[in-house]
Structure 1
Amino acid sequence: MKKHPLLRLWAFMGVLLVEISPTLYAQEVVAGGNRDLVFLVDGTMEPASMVALRDFIKRFVEPWVVGPSAVQVGVVLFGSSPSLQMDLNTHGTKESLVAALGGIKATPGQTVNIGAALDFVRSDVLRPEKGSRLGQGVPQLVLLVTSKKSSDAVEQAAGALKQMGVLTLAAGSRTADEQELKQIALADQLVFMTGDLDAPFGNPREIVDALSTLTGVTATDAPSESVETIGPTRKPKVARDIVFLLDGSDHVGRSNFPSVRDFIIDVVNRLDVRPEGIQIGLVQFAEHPKVEFYLKSYDNKQDIVNRTSALSLTGGSVLNTGAALNYALIHMFQQSSGSRRRQGVHQVLVLITGGPANDQVDSVADELVLHGVLAVTVSSGQADENQLRSIALIPQLVFHKTNFSDLPALAELITPLLLTEAGA
């Protein structure tokens, strides 16, 4: 069982969100990419719940760069009518934003009109002059938090936000209406129900299942216009830093190693490899890791294919997968090695293994998430699937074949997952 499952939701949203729970303090979190996030909050909650929510927002923004070229946060309170607390562009620094949170206070009331509040976000908050970068393709997220059932209809307003391409989530206490929140959220699994809103927002392990089907959106210039969903057949040009972490132990063996190499080559041949697009790095490991090439080593597909074709098995009976994952995080997903994480480029690690790890993998798997690295596992032979599920973000990113010779056929299935905006 993972110690901090809340992290799994934000990372898989494709948008590399990292949520810091009240019991987790990351010493070094690098969050990449631009985001516009609106907290839509029931202002009639108990004062203690509002204090907890302010603290939640504060901890959420702590690892992020806040500003017009990074992450922007807006807050709207609602009861019988919505009340704007801050636009997306009200605060250009984290310090200013955190200082302003203290002024957000609960107001007495028994009526909440969530439908009107959702419409207000769509028409008055997600606009260019209010800081929204929807027209620039920046992901738009709305997190609704409520303690009550709405007194007005929500379905039409929620649908209008979804039509814009907004990622909507909903958190509610036991006095909220779960079915109503399911109408609002992008998917049923994106509804957090908790007994008390001053507690963390539930266990979102199940939420990531729905997000696994998302392929991202491109936004139009105006919020009122429709958006175009990017499906796999459109093959949009995207930037990714992808590191293959390859088991070179005797668990794979010399007879199976060509199938593993072919799998990597088949994936690479499906990617748009170039300095502004996809970059590929590769580490082979058994007892110790060995860099075969860095993300910055090759700027074209053919060089990577040639180098991969020439790989030879390291060999050895000891398989320290945890140490290899940690090595990749420290040495591969760094600017000096070619990583573009600080420019907002999604970071992906593809672990390919044929045996169980001889060391611990759970803690370093959490570190990968904290640093915005999406892990996908591909395995065969004697690999421990339960162990691999603790490494990958969700079960849908764990791929196992009985025979190594079947691995190359996975390339067509896995490649779209490496390119989609939800992780995605």
Structure 2
Amino acid sequence: GFSARGLLFTSFHDSHFILILSFIGKRRFKIQKDFLVEVSQVINVGVAGPMMGIIQYGDDPVTEFSLKQFSSSKDLKPAISKIVQKGGLSNVGKALSYINKHFFSDANGNRGGAPNVAVVLVDGWPTDKVEEASRLARESGINIFFVTIEGPDENEKQNVMETNFVDKAVCRTNGFFSLSISSWFALRKEVQSLVKRVCDTDRLVCSKTCLNANDIAFVIDGSSSVGTGNFRTVLQFVANVTQEFEISDTDTRVGIIQYTYEQRLEFAFGQHNNKADLLNAIKHINYWSGGTSTGAAITYAADQLFSKSKPNKRKIMIVITDGRSYDDVRAPALAVHRKGVIAYSIGIAWAIQDDLEYIATDPDRDHSFFMDEFDNLYNVLTKIIHNICNEFNSQPRN
């Protein structure tokens, strides 16, 4: 029941995919290669479409070819048939660590915004532990699929290190990310099923991380009490928060509203689609000066920004204010909470605790912050990033 051979990875239009093979008898190894050839032909590899690479694993993993080595399905066919079997153990955990560290680098052809997929072929069971390695790979956004063939016999089960290794390894234990195949001869029937799954970019949950899966709206108080110098400090804080995220049209997007009695959309989600442009736009926001209608600003954010949010993005609102709102914040805050917006409130100087708590998503201690002066904004930077990621990672995986 030992397995040890190969990873295949490809990027479907907007996705990258890798597959891991297993070490077995020569005949089975050939079946496995035939399966990979068929997968490579069905997915239609190309520069504008999926990209595919293969890793063979045994005692140690080795890249047979990287994502960028072949730019068409036609070229992949002879390359796969030339792969030579190496033998050895079935160190799947080691293979997953290897992929996580080396395979999906930009140098190897990774394209930003395209999901990364690893398909692991296992004959029988792994000879090392997979849980930790797969968790780290998932957290870095790699969608892990397992194709298990045959599995251990009754008398072999005592040698299995992690009996439910598939559930521990895959992106979700809902059956979508794992295929269990009774025999090697049934493998070829699964080509269409596997390809359909790895191409379903909406269901590739692991490509979403706390840094690339958000629409973040900053709602900034531009009232007279803030003053020009403090307003620059606020903008620097907004830039520092933004700096932490992966910014692109398919990753995290940022929109900004400045408010006084009135509201001004400084820029919308997706208007600045790379980090340099975005940071530049933040720097050039002009201070407005006027009153403080925080409630109206939150409603405006819902209408102008969150109504245009992408369905698969987490909606995050960060409100920064230095005073009491002239209008009611409670009803507008409740309305955005109901629409699934996660709201953070940052109050400075004369901000009112009640307002801040109404604005913030529960629990307040994770979403609401107060400081005496603007220069202390930096103290909450790491807390906010940490809390956004913590909340994202603690969502149930199933």
Larger Rg: 2
TM range (shorter): 0.3 to 0.5
TM-score, length of structure 1 as denominator length: 0.44
TM-score, length of structure 2 as denominator length: 0.47
Higher-RCO chain (CA-CA 8 Å, sequence separation at least 6) = 1
